[in-house]
Amino acid sequence: MQTQFVTQNIQNMFRNMCILLMLLGLVFIGCGGDDDSESESGDGESSADVIKPADSGQSKEDPLAGKKWADGDIPEIIISAETVKAFGEMSPEVGIVDDPDASNGKALRWADDAKANNPPIEDPTAWFSIEFMADAAEYFIWIRAKCDGDTGTDALWVQFDDQIGTLEHTADKDAPGRGLGNWRDVFDAGVYKWGSQEVPPPTVVSVKFKKKGLHKLRVQPRQVPHNIDQILLSQDQDERPEDDPMDSDIGKDPSAVEKEGKLEATWGTLKEVW
């Protein structure tokens, strides 16, 4: 009788130990699964490339595809005569001339017999153009130029993107027929000055691009002749700059994108088409 009682106790103890081991095993498996899950999630976020469906709508040809730029990458763009010569296009009625008062000793100049147009035309014979990268932002437009003649020699037309090839242009919306420039209305002849639209009362003309990316500027003369040293497009410069030229790197292509995904912006342009 006593032997049977001992045997039953041993069986109960063995059964309880088995149940305990099974419970411990389940707890261990559950903890192990949680650790693996957390490790995989952490690795995926910090070191692994996560491939997601291509739902951004960006084309393969888009130079901005895959880039993570914030607005403000290009707070200003500087256009010089050398930049236009190296990376832009010019008609035969535009030349690069030596000018010791220009930023790098060179300036753009309309030929004395260049065909000026008032209003602008779709296909001018005197023009220069260039492509550039720009933010989706508003830029104030400033042009450093000088005139040797009277007030009939000091104005030009600027066109951006879809405006090119049309009669549309960027100007003071209250006085679009004045174009840009008009330095001689305020300043002496033969002196470089920054201006936007200088017929009194002067106004600061701006351009706003609706998307970040590659844009294009074309300039044609409203009046000739005059020299153009630099064109400044700035998100912050809402007042007339000092008379001196802006520092710029004339050796960089303004339409290029660096390997790191930063913009090589030495010059460009912008404006809201209206």
Give pLDDT tens digits for 41-78.
333 332 222 222 333 344 445 444 444 445 568 999 99
Q: Which of 149, 274, 271 minimizes the C-alpha distance to 219? A: 271
Contact, 79 vs 156, CB < 8 A?
no
Percent of the chain's residues with pLDDT above 70: 66
For residue 220, what are the β-bridge partners?
A: 157
Give pLDDT tens digits for 209-230.
999 999 999 999 999 999 999 9
The CA–CA distances, whole Å, from 226 to 37, 86, 126 equal 70, 21, 13
Give pLDDT tens digits for 110-121.
998 999 999 999
Residue ranges of domains in the chain: 1-47, 76-234
DSSP 201: S
Find the range with the poorest average confidence among 19-28, 34-43, 123-132. 34-43
214: buried, middle or exposed (CB in 10 Å: 19+, 13-18, 0-12)?
middle
Q: Is the peptide bond before 225 cis (omega within 30 degrees of 0)?
A: yes
Determine the 3-state secondary structure of 27 from DSSP.
helix
The CA–CA distances, whole Å, from 222 to 59, 65, 69, 111 equal 38, 38, 37, 13
Interacting residues of 253 by C-beta distance below 8 A, sequence separation 6+: 86, 87, 264, 266
Half-sphere exposure of residue 115, counting CA atoms within 13 Å on the CB side?
10
Contact, 126 vs 93, CB < 8 A?
yes
Higher pLDDT, 93 or 36: 93
Phi then psi for residue 46, to 5 deg, are: -100, -30
The pTM for the full model equals 0.69
CATH of domain 76-234: 2.60.120.260
Measure CA 45 to chain center. Answer: 30
User: Residue 11, Cβ neighbours under 10 Å: how many?
Assistant: 10
Give me the sign of the Cα torsion angle 203, 164, 126, 248: positive
Contact, 116 vs 224, CB < 8 A?
yes
Measure CA 252 to chain center. Answer: 14
Nearest-angstrom CA–CA distance, 183 and 178: 12
User: Residue 176, Cβ neighbours under 10 Å: how many?
Assistant: 17
Could you tell me the pLDDT band of residue 183, with boundaries at 50, 70 and 90?
very high
Nearest-angstrom CA–CA distance, 84 and 265: 13
Give pLDDT tens digits for 249-258.
766 788 775 5
